[in-house]
Amino acid sequence: MNVIDLLLFKMTYLFANCDLDFSKEEQDTLEKFRESLTAEETSQADKALDELSDDIAKGFDAIRERTLEIATLLQPVVKDGDLTHLYYEVIDQMIQADGREHPNEKALLEEVRDIWG
């Protein structure tokens, strides 16, 4: 994965966990994505998930902080291209995977929208 894809992967995983319940549907969505990866990309994804485990264990505030940090890093790429709607679509798919939108997910998405414009 390139850096941008890896950052977006991290962000979607954080969104999946910001309701503090990584549902079976969210796990299935993540697993489908992982099936499309090469062995090297799977290794990168696994390392990314390990990196994020501490933030997730600390709760929503840590998840929020890390997500906004990643959104800020992605902001120039999102603003520079016509990919904004695709980035939102990827995040929305993870939010909707379990069939419900948690208030944490909604609030965090609004903050990301503020960063990305």
Look at residue 33 and give its three-state secondary structure. helix
Query: What is the residue range of 54's domain?
Result: 3-116
User: Which has the higher per-residue pLDDT, 24 or 65?
Assistant: 65
Angle at 28 (CA atoms; ends 24, 29), nearest 5 degrees: 120
Element spanning 39, H or E: helix 39-58
Query: How many domains, in total, are found in the chain?
Result: 1
Q: What is the pLDDT of residue 81?
A: 63
Rounded to two decimals, what is the model's pTM? 0.88
**What's the CA gap between 113 and 80, in Å, rounded?**
15
Would you say 66 and 74 are in contact if contact means Cβ atoms under 8 Å apart? no
